[in-house]
Structure 1
Amino acid sequence: MALTNAALLKAISEDRALASAMMFPHRHPQASPAFHVEVMDLWRAEDEFVLIEAFREGGKSTLSEEFLLLEAAFGNFGYCLIIGETYTKACQRLEAIKHEALRNMKLQSLFGRLRQDGRKWNEHQIELPNGVLLEAHGWEEELRGFKWHDLRPDRAYLDDIENKERVKDAAAVAASMNKLYLELMPAMDKVKGKIRFTQTPLAEDCLVTRLRENPDWTTRRFPVCNGDIDDPSTVALWPDRYPMEWVRKKRDEMERAGQLRGFMQEYMLLAIGTQDKPFETDQIAECAVDPAPWLPKVVITDPARTTNVKKSDRSGRVVVSRLGTKILVHSSIGAFWKPDEVIEDAFATSSRFGDAAVAIEKNSLDEWLLQPMRAEMLRRGVTLALKPLSAPQDRDKTQFIMGIQPFLLAGDIVLVGGRGAHAQLVAEIQNFPSGKRDILNALAYFQRVFSGVPVYEDFGQWNIVSYYEPSQQHPMALAFNSNGADTTAALICIEGQRMVVVADWISPVPPKEAVNDIVQLVRAMFPRARLTAWVPADVMDQADRMPVVAALRAVNLYPMRGEYLNVARGALSPLIRTEAKARRLFQVDQESAKHTLNALAGGYNFPIDRAGNKGNVPETGPHRTLIEGLESAVQALSSQRDTALPEGIHMAVNPQGASYVTTLPRR
């Protein structure tokens, strides 16, 4: 029997990984992976300083306890220090060793009783019958002057001694380096001393990263898998316990919670420093309700070309509005949408947020997405105020997203509804620059969507009414305009000096159909209204070429001649600013004239070039077409009003389109 035990002792002495499996099978419910053998070899190596990095719950502490107990039982060292982050944690590690020493019958059958009769073990010390001492200490203690009888420590085990406080800055890390080199190392036995350090990196600059680059230290890293997590060829280091399915699921779970950086740190051993994480959680501002519900919204979409959940980017979409310097985020989502789903979301979201304009990244997507979207407008008879966006060519995606950093720092990015309503966006902010960032990329486009100078900067909440009901005694005017692609109209109620935009339309169908539909709708809504139609003088001058004029005449609504577009620009300003009887002279119904509201609140603007110079002509698009038609009519109406003709006077139009006063009664 003694011979058998001697052979077994020799076998487990030569192969500590085998010893661990044989002596502690109850501590290894899953099959031990190959990297555990490497860990045991590193512990036993002749190298003086060894650093072992392993992923969270990778078994590094369990193996350390088993190795130290076996070494102590063999008497391969005389005095071992177990140093933890705190004294309590070091004692917990020693307690696990103590538990095995007292209750592991396999160990006792080979080495006899490991507790000497009559000797009491302390919470921080255990002495084996062979005279070996294991002692627990916290890293916060002063590590000087250790001695046991005539022995100095010849083993030291540093177990996850770093924490967030000890890696908060370079000075804190330097303090740990000083403690290691100026306190612990001088306290060790100069001939037989060995230090083993197991740790997961907590920062880009920490004790681990500094020792990793030190040639005096033997280092080995064991992340949870050996490559890109999404690569099908990547293999898990411990497949029986952490298969790749679990790794991917855990990664996605932590990413959704905004903890991707924590996953990369704890499981992939890739620590990202604060300097590489420009966005912090405390920079995210939020509000429970929309502080300015009257503001027009813009839907910004960053579509993805593919929908491979594992490989491709998501389509990112946000709904934003601008209140001064603040950007209000009303909705946000990231999804693996197909092209038809991107289009469907654009229409649904625009409708849900008051016919919001749709800004969409168009790089290489013109025919892929914009053409089907225009076709869908014709099919539905609904127009989206589209604003194609070009991806930046002078910087990459990360640098483009970094453009929102000043706004976050100033608290100018406000999540309406709170963080819970924007879980995906918050996660991307917390994870950036790691992980998915498609919603962030869509949000970064607000700098382009809200660029330019609004033509009517004085327009505000005081110019907005809700559910306006025009009186039959007041005349009404339909201000038409067309740019070739869109036909626009604004219905104006004229209350003496005051003008109220009651409804508006932007239609992608040909003018003949658009005008007919609009006029029929207005006549059905206001059958007794005294209605006149107006078109800009620029259009009247080309009446034979412009189908909108012919379309109006076809429905027996002969258009009046408005002012020229360049002359009329800015014509709304005096009315917007002037107040009479506690009401502004120009108002817009926010329920039924949303296109006008969106245009005046920023959609109708002068562009700004890269040099910061304001353009002389407003940015082209349906908003400009709509407001230019409105300006032209208002300027002409104001000029007529300035002639002091009595209200209700009969007017007619000659074949050339010029209006004149007539005594003939109206039908």
Structure 2
Amino acid sequence: MTAQQEILRRLYRDRPLAHKALFAHRHPVASPPFHAEMQNDWHGPSRGVLDLVFRGGAKSTIAEEAIPIMAGFREFKNCLIIGENAERAVARLHAVKREFEANDLLRQAFGDLRGATWGEDRLVLSTGAAIQALGKGQSLRGIKHEDMRPDLVFGDDLENRQDVSTPEHRKKHLDWFTLDLLPACDPDYRVRVAATPLHPESLAMVLAKTPGWIVHTYPIYYLDENGEKQSSWPERFPIKDVLHLEQTYLARGQVQGFKQEYMCQSEAPETKAFKQEMFRIEPQVRSWQAVYSMTDPARTTNKDSADTGHVVWSWIGPKLVIWDAAGAQLMPSEIVDLQFRIWDEHHPVQMGIEEDGLNQFLLQPLRQEQVKRGLTIPIQPLKAPVGKFDFIRGLQPFFQAREVQFAKPLPDLQAQLLGFPTGKIDVPNALAYALKMRPGAPIYDDFNGRHIGEDLRPLAGRPVWLALNATRSLVTGVLLQVLDGSIRVFADWVREGEPGAVIRDIISEANVESGGRVRLTAGPLHFDQYNNVGLRQAVAKVPLELRAGVQPERARDHIRALLRAERQGMPALMVSSNARWTLNGLAGGYSRALLKQGQLAEYAEEGVYRTLLEGFESFVGLLELGGSTDGEDGDRFNAVTHDGRRYTSMLGNKR
């Protein structure tokens, strides 16, 4: 055996070696192990081999090398290269043709294989074998070479997105391949297909389920034994670059595209709950709208842990407007900081936090940070849903009806919605709480941006009032002034704690804010002998006088009238942008309770906004009854009945 024969024998027995030795110019970086598997099966006896390989994984390159090698070893008589269209097929044939013409190593191994017919779409080799190019769906007339039917077929990415877009298109191409092409081949044909899975019912996926076919699936990354992502071809695609590429696709909202092109995963767009066309980005600036937020905290911060997802939104009529949404791996301290950042930027009516995470590791740090900052934020613990996927699917009708708007691009939310139910779903899960936190009808639905003032200050020489209210664990106050029948609200306070523990600080801060001594009022409950919560007694220890207001509901018609009225070209009721709690309450936080049956209750939802605004209403009701708030006859009525009616008592303020 000559040296030449020994080389050919080794190349014949070791096809990966043949690829490496004869086509070294095509391999500037080391080949990954999966290339050898593909090469062995390409040259093997199997009738059908399907390569589902990520873009850039060299599936077509291997074919362009395998065909010349098989030609040199006389392993086919009539090879058919089929492309998505004729142009693609000719381009692939041209790459093969170039190797016959310019590859000296190939010529040394097998001799000059160029033959008499050397065209753009058809080659006849010196061995007598033919290689032809054909577009998918073209007529199969004339594909015989002499009397030889095709015995080797290479299908190169036969389908595009249009081809798989409808059942009719998919059936058409499947029928052509299985009912026209294969029967036209030699009985001992071998078919090799390189494909991207564009649809679960695409030709490639049908072939993948066909008995007897060898199927290779190589995504661009995989999970190792430790659950960490590793590149399938690290020499060419370092994992850092791969993950950056994935994030680029996600940021563009092309989750499905990345899965198809790089992860070799097919999904039917028509079965996805959320589709790209459902997303509407409508830039807008938030002003008076009531805002809500939800944070779904992750328990751990390992590499493969869930993200902490948070979303900030408003319900504006039937529309769900999303101001912000993101997901990230955060430490507990960072989750706490996130809540205060959300408050500083958006001042939500309620700030939902998933209850288990709150109780496990966030409750105490949040309380400590509120004390440290001298600030109370409206944290609302919420129980996690029983079925998370169904919980998120509840958003689909709103997206389908185009009633969801993004106030800015929100790549994390968009990517996770497009990937749902696979991959990370932490941000959509946080958004789904918008349905659970949707408020009932606002008590004051006439409130809008007209009623907000940026720099309201008390007018000197006129009384300034602090309308107080309290429960056994919460004290609220609204600082306001009555000017010629108009009301101006300047500031407000919400403090956790018993009245005796916090009232002195609230009054002191209100005096500073008003530039003088404020006058205090509270609702009739606080003058009830048996049902008061200690507010009146706490004020007496300051010591200051607490004047009685009326039942809150008696003021609502008057407040509604003020919201609709103007005085000297200005709204009759205006609230400073600094009075954040009052703004939130009037904008929607103070609303009728929503019953489980979906009906609206006649009473307001329990909570901080009800406490705050009922204190405000109790004061405003004095105006409705004709009481004076300018200090001249304010002492004339010094007592109140159980139903809020004021009268003059002989006991005066000793009651």
TM-score (normalised: structure 1): 0.89
Q: Is the 8 A contact 1:488 1:506 kept in 2?
A: yes
1:542 is displaced (CA, Å) by 4.0
1:165 is displaced (CA, Å) by 0.8
Match of 2:539 among 549, 552, 574: 552
Show the 5 A alignment for 1:123-162. 123-162=120-159
1:114 is displaced (CA, Å) by 1.9
Change (3 A) 1:237 1:351: closer
CA distance in 1, matches of 2:524, 2:288: 32
CA distance in 1, matches of 2:330, 2:351: 17
Change (3 A) 1:222 1:586: same
Change (3 A) 1:462 1:580: same
Show the 5 A alignment for 1:622-637. 622-637=608-623
Match of 2:367 among 358, 370, 374: 374
Match of 2:182?
185
Structure 1 counterpart SS, 2:365: helix
Query: What letter is aligned with 1:297?
Result: V
Structure 1 counterpart SS, 2:263: coil
- Structure 2, unmatched stretches of 5+, are none
CA distance in 2, matches of 1:570, 1:650: 22
1:367 is displaced (CA, Å) by 4.8
Match of 1:649?
633
Q: Alignment RMSD, CA only?
A: 3.0
CA distance in 2, matches of 1:107, 1:305: 59
1:102 is displaced (CA, Å) by 1.2
Q: Is the 8 A contact 1:299 1:350 kept in 2?
A: no
Show the 5 A alignment for 1:480-491. 480-491=468-479
Match of 1:492 among 457, 469, 480: 480
Query: What letter is aligned with 1:299?
Result: S
Structure 2 counterpart SS, 1:158: strand
1:252 is displaced (CA, Å) by 4.5
Change (3 A) 1:65 1:602: same
Structure 1 counterpart SS, 2:394: helix
Structure 1 counterpart SS, 2:356: coil
1:611 aligns with 2:607: no
CA distance in 1, matches of 2:337, 2:492: 23
Structure 1 counterpart SS, 2:424: coil
Show the 5 A alignment for 1:267-416. 267-290=262-285, 292-308=286-302, 310-354=303-347, 357-393=350-386, 395-396=387-388, 398-416=389-407
Q: Is the 8 A contact 1:459 1:576 kept in 2?
A: no
CA distance in 1, matches of 2:577, 2:560: 24
CA distance in 2, matches of 1:175, 1:613: 52
1:180 is displaced (CA, Å) by 0.7
CA distance in 1, matches of 2:332, 2:412: 21
Change (3 A) 1:249 1:655: closer
Query: What letter is aligned with 1:198?
Result: A
Q: Give a deviation string over 1:381-430, Cα, whole Å, max 9, x none.
A: 1111222222212x22x2222222222223322222x31xx333333333
CA distance in 2, matches of 1:609, 1:545: 28
Show the 5 A alignment for 1:455-534. 455-472=443-460, 474-512=462-500, 514-527=502-515, 531-534=518-521
Q: Give a deviation string over 1:505-535, Cα, whole Å, max 9, x none.
A: 1122543453323323333343467x53111
Q: Is the 8 A contact 1:329 1:414 kept in 2?
A: yes
Could you tell which deviates more after superposition, 218-227 or 56-65? 218-227
Structure 1 counterpart SS, 2:337: helix
Q: Is the 8 A contact 1:260 1:435 kept in 2?
A: no
CA distance in 2, matches of 1:218, 1:278: 33
CA distance in 2, matches of 1:502, 1:225: 58
1:4 is displaced (CA, Å) by 2.2
Query: What letter is aligned with 1:220?
Result: H
Aligned length: 647
Q: Give a deviation string over 1:174-196, Cα, whole Å, max 9, x none.
A: 0111111232123222x333222
Query: What letter is aligned with 1:403?
Result: G
Q: Give a deviation string over 1:96-149, Cα, whole Å, max 9, x none.
A: 111111122222123222224xx4621112221111111111114223442222
Change (3 A) 1:569 1:402: farther
Q: Is the 8 A contact 1:401 1:444 kept in 2?
A: yes
Structure 1 counterpart SS, 2:325: strand
Query: What letter is aligned with 1:86?
Result: N
1:261 aligns with 2:256: yes
Query: What letter is aligned with 2:356?
Result: N
Q: Give a deviation string over 1:468-522, Cα, whole Å, max 9, x none.
A: 3443464432210111222101122223433332321112254345332332333
Change (3 A) 1:341 1:237: closer
Q: Is the 8 A contact 2:298 2:357 kept in 1?
A: no
Could you tell which deviates more after superposition, 159-168 or 262-271? 262-271
Match of 1:600?
586
Q: Give a deviation string over 1:74-113, Cα, whole Å, max 9, x none.
A: 3222211101112222122111111111122222123222
Q: Is the 8 A contact 1:83 1:136 kept in 2?
A: yes
Show the 5 A alignment for 1:43-192. 43-116=42-115, 119=116, 121-189=118-186, 191-192=187-188
Change (3 A) 1:463 1:110: closer
Structure 2 counterpart SS, 1:504: strand
1:537 aligns with 2:524: yes
Change (3 A) 1:465 1:35: closer
CA distance in 2, matches of 1:645, 1:85: 83
Query: What letter is aligned with 2:260?
Result: Q
Query: What letter is aligned with 1:610?
Result: K
1:345 is displaced (CA, Å) by 1.9
Change (3 A) 1:501 1:572: farther
Q: Is the 8 A contact 1:260 1:434 kept in 2?
A: no
Identical positions, percent:
31
Structure 2 counterpart SS, 1:287: coil
CA distance in 1, matches of 2:434, 2:42: 55
1:166 is displaced (CA, Å) by 0.9
Q: Is the 8 A contact 2:439 2:589 kept in 1?
A: no
Could you tell which deviates more after superposition, 3-12 or 252-261? 252-261
CA distance in 2, matches of 1:293, 1:401: 28
TM-score (normalised: structure 2): 0.90
Change (3 A) 1:537 1:655: closer
Q: Is the 8 A contact 2:308 2:329 kept in 1?
A: yes
Query: What letter is aligned with 2:421?
Result: P
Match of 1:18?
17
1:582 is displaced (CA, Å) by 6.9
Q: Give a deviation string over 1:332-372, Cα, whole Å, max 9, x none.
A: 23222222221222123212224654222213532521233
Match of 1:453 among 441, 445, 464: 441
Query: What letter is aligned with 1:58?
Result: G
Match of 2:573 among 568, 572, 587: 587
Match of 1:440?
428
Change (3 A) 1:91 1:299: same
1:227 is displaced (CA, Å) by 4.2
Change (3 A) 1:632 1:81: same
Could you tell which deviates more after superposition, 332-341 or 98-107? 332-341
1:243 is displaced (CA, Å) by 5.6
Could you tell which deviates more after superposition, 123-132 or 471-480? 471-480
- Structure 1, unmatched stretches of 5+, are none
Could you tell which deviates more after superposition, 426-435 or 405-414? 426-435
CA distance in 2, matches of 1:228, 1:170: 37
Q: Is the 8 A contact 1:258 1:429 kept in 2?
A: no
Q: Is the 8 A contact 2:592 2:605 kept in 1?
A: yes
CA distance in 1, matches of 2:570, 2:538: 34
